[in-house]
Structure 1
Amino acid sequence: MLAGCRLHVFVFSVSALVSFSGVALAENLTIGSVEDLGKALFFDVNLSKNRTQSCATCHSPETGFSDQRDNGFGEPVSGAVSLGDDGKSIGDRNAPTASYARFSPSFHLREDGEYIGGQFWDGREADLEGQAGGPPLNPLEMGMASKADVVGRLQENPYYVAAFKTFFGKEIFDDPDTAYGAMAKSIAAFERTDVFSPFDSRYDRYLKGKVKFTDQEELGRVLFFSDQFSNCNQCHQLRKIPGAERETFTNYEYHNIGTPVNAAVREANGGGEAAADLGLLANSAVSDPAQAGKFKVPTLRNVAVTGPYMHNGIFEDLRTVVLFYNQYNTTAPSAKINPETGRHWGRTEFEKTLSTEELTVGPALDDKRVDALVAFLKTLTDARYEHLLEDR
């Protein structure tokens, strides 16, 4: 990288760019670093086959780096899973937020035999670079045929060409794989900036003594961090308390929590009832059948504004998620009913791999405690998204 070098880049399809973090991404965007280049690429729809989709399409900075679009399939499918660049393809999984993704460790097998880290719900990419390189070549997402085709799109923009040569060497475009890797590195560099992880939520301000929690929020905080009163922190606490500054609210492990099959999504995408999602076992680095149906524990940062929830978008409301967990700790018949449908929670896959030990920690929660946990989870919303809490 050349220190102090400033390049001006024209980004095609300017209509795809949005106001972001108080700065309008205009036609003339200054590229003075790899992070700046990554920002331009993150919003560039030209990296998809039909020039309709960018990284920001499914990870919108306006909605907590999640996908709140109507995919056109109607309720309850709309919003649960993302629509591809071809305008008709949908997959089986909800697009996870890109917020705080930089803190996930590289995918690996711990000494205790548990898998941890990586990107995507199944950890199939070790790091952000791998994740950034996935969607452009995914036929259900951005739909490009090859790395060479993507690199060809990059070379359509002379300002990209100048930036890539400045940051990665004059011969960067001699090899498509190398150039594609540089693109992924640039996007990952942008995703590692504080734009994606500001740690400025009400919870963070509370830790710094800048705000005082309401009684309900404080009750929720106590419940959340205590394994005597809830099972939340079994998977959603990384750092020790007190304080827990810069807590990401995930231990990056993989668990099967018994999420019901999203039958409506399966019907819409043609997968059918037999198209089981293997979860962690779908990762090519994993062959142990005991990992079937396990998914990466997501961050709870911005969770109140990035629904729908679970790996398949099965639940619309955050309170429903808390009630779903609560069913494992009570025998009350009402706890077995999904309040969104009025019916039983539904069939799950791979019951033999359920994380029963973690799910059954703590007593049953009454309505007061359920509401307190929801109130606490709302405090994990970044400051720039707090206005969305009222909308939801």
Structure 2
Amino acid sequence: MTLSCFRKARRATLCALFAWLGFALCAQAAPSGGRAPDERDLTPLETLGKRVFEDTNLSRPAGVSCASCHDAAKAFQGNNGSAVPAVARGSLPTSLGKRNTPSIMYASFAPPFGFIDDKDEETGEIEKIPAGGQFLDGRARDLLAQVEGPMLDPLEMNAPSKRFIVEAVRDGSYADLVRQVYGEKVFADLDAAFEKLAQAVVAFEASARFHPFASKFDDYLRGEAQLTALEKKGFELFKDPKKGNCLACHAGKEDSRNPEDWLFTDFTYDALGGPKNIAIPSTAKPDSSPDLGLCARKGLAEVAPPGFKVESVCGAFKVPTLRNIAVTEPYLHNGVFDKLRDVVAFYATRDTDPGHWYPKDRRGKPEKFNDLPAAAHENVNVKEVPYDRKPGQKPRLSEQDIDAIVAFLKTLTDREKKQDSESRLR
């Protein structure tokens, strides 16, 4: 199934799956008595998922929830008040993550991890490339598999087991809602109960709250708003294959006015060779191992097609959606950039002026791709526009072009939904 087809079939598939499992993801919300105001647009299942998502009693020690690092006010991205903004603080005082927290808005559109056909524009040959999945390295096949990761990670919520989580919910304030959704005997089998709680979180993360399509750009697509001259210029540069060439990875369907065809990611993986972020303690250590991204994904070789070289994706991370990118700083997998303009400028001048982005060695030569071992340098994207430049050459984008693209990217920030748009968005 192509990514386009997956997007169109996604909602129907989820509805059918959850209906088969015996609960109503797609049903209208039940009467809101006893529920918080921000739960009134959710079904009972989605409400349950929200409460699990926000439950600070599921960590050890208590105090951290999924929402701690996926803050709704920051497009479901964040760092739980970490002293190192690039990585999140966990439940233990000394716990810090190793990667930047990705936004989970629009994450439900990602297909399960697998390999898709990709046509080489120069040779016309078809090859299989990895795409989809969750987390920056795709280690979770889908949203359901993703739920348990942060909960059980010692650097994040630090829950000792799935059983611990289920027991905390069973003994907590919304246990009756769990029984309402799944039946009175839901806690009889604790292992099965965890799976059901995870399914509820998936339902919440698949709700319109996580994909409102409520940005200025969405209104522009619908014919309800106009871009400024600078924003329009940025959009054209964004699409231009000889300038920004951003659509090559941050995909959108140019002939479509449907916001769902503009997810600004193709869900593939790319090696950008971003600078090392020495602010991350685990990275700053002299004996620290480099973060190899996708090639370190457990079991990759077992699911890869014949002939696929796992080492070819060392340093590759999942292409993020650019929706809400202006409010989900810091950027790149290691959070090395805290300003959106710096990211765009890095793409434009990484290869024309590497000395601006990378430290210099004893001879004064920039140590390009210094966050990767030398063997992985050949995986870094240096062929596609705008990376196809050499030191001293003119960048594909001027300073004014960079400003224009940044102005366009700011139109991708979701705004509060209009009252009359709920029926259209659900």
TM-score range, shorter chain: 0.7 to 0.9
> What is the SS of the residue equivalent to 2:208?
coil
Give the letter aligned to residue 364 of structure 1. R
Structure 1 CA distance, aligned partners of 2:380 and 2:284?
26
Structure 2 CA distance, aligned partners of 1:140 and 1:8?
37
Residue 346 of structure 1: how far off its partner (Å): 6.3
Quote the residue 2:150 is aligned against: 135
Residue 195 of structure 1: how far off its partner (Å): 0.8
Which one of the candidate residues 232, 236, 250 is aligned to 2:265? 250
Distance 1:125 1:305, change over 3 A: same
Residue 348 of structure 1: how far off its partner (Å): 3.1
Quote the residue 1:187 is aligned against: 201
Quote the residue 1:208 is aligned against: 222
Give the letter aligned to residue 347 of structure 1. N
**More displaced stretch, 234-243 vs 355-364:** 355-364
Structure 1 CA distance, aligned partners of 2:257 and 2:50?
33
* Cα displacement string for residues 182-233 of structure 1 (whole angstroms, at most 9, x for unaligned residues): 1111011001111111111011111122222111101000011121222311
Q: Indicate the percent of aligned positions where both proteins have the same amino acid.
A: 35
Structure 1 CA distance, aligned partners of 2:95 and 2:379?
30
1:112-123 alignment runs, 5 A limit:
112-123=127-138
Residue 357 of structure 1: how far off its partner (Å): 2.7
Distance 1:32 1:220, change over 3 A: closer
**More displaced stretch, 232-241 vs 42-51:** 232-241
Structure 2 CA distance, aligned partners of 1:30 and 1:374?
33
Count of paired positions: 360
> What is the SS of the residue equivalent to 1:110?
strand
Quote the residue 2:102 is aligned against: 96
Q: Normalising to structure 1: TM-score of the pair?
A: 0.84
Quote the residue 1:75 is aligned against: none
Quote the residue 1:13 is aligned against: none
1:327/1:336 contact within 8 Å kept: no
Quote the residue 1:234 is aligned against: 248
Residue 384 of structure 1: how far off its partner (Å): 3.3
Give the letter aligned to residue 167 of structure 1. V
Structure 2 unpaired stretches of 5+ = 1-22, 118-126, 302-309, 390-394, 418-426
Quote the residue 1:307 is aligned against: 329
Quote the residue 2:410 is aligned against: 378
Residue 171 of structure 1: how far off its partner (Å): 3.2
Which one of the candidate residues 348, 365, 370 is aligned to 1:347? 370
2:57/2:63 contact within 8 Å kept: yes
For the pair 1:48 / 2:59, whether they are aligned, the reply is yes
* Cα displacement string for residues 365-391 of structure 1 (whole angstroms, at most 9, x for unaligned residues): 111101000000001010139xxxxxx
- Supply the RMSD in Å over aligned alpha carbons: 2.8
> What is the SS of the residue equivalent to 2:166?
helix
Structure 1 CA distance, aligned partners of 2:273 and 2:255?
29
Give the letter aligned to residue 145 of structure 2. G
* Cα displacement string for residues 78-115 of structure 1 (whole angstroms, at most 9, x for unaligned residues): 21000001122112200000111111111112243200
2:277/2:283 contact within 8 Å kept: no
Quote the residue 1:221 is aligned against: 235
Q: Normalising to structure 2: TM-score of the pair?
A: 0.77
Structure 2 CA distance, aligned partners of 1:191 and 1:216?
34
Quote the residue 1:62 is aligned against: 73
1:90/1:269 contact within 8 Å kept: no
Residue 174 of structure 1: how far off its partner (Å): 2.4
2:273/2:369 contact within 8 Å kept: no
> What is the SS of the residue equivalent to 2:60?
coil
1:83/1:89 contact within 8 Å kept: yes
Distance 1:151 1:230, change over 3 A: same
Residue 6 of structure 1: how far off its partner (Å): 6.1
Give the letter aligned to residue 306 of structure 1. T
Give the letter aligned to residue 74 of structure 2. T
Distance 1:66 1:42, change over 3 A: same
Structure 1 CA distance, aligned partners of 2:137 and 2:270?
10
> What is the SS of the residue equivalent to 1:177?
helix
* Cα displacement string for residues 14-44 of structure 1 (whole angstroms, at most 9, x for unaligned residues): xxxxx9xxx457xxx9985110111111111
Which one of the candidate residues 359, 363, 369 is aligned to 2:401? 369
Residue 273 of structure 1: how far off its partner (Å): 4.9
Quote the residue 1:84 is aligned against: 90
For the pair 1:35 / 2:46, whether they are aligned, the reply is yes
2:138/2:294 contact within 8 Å kept: yes
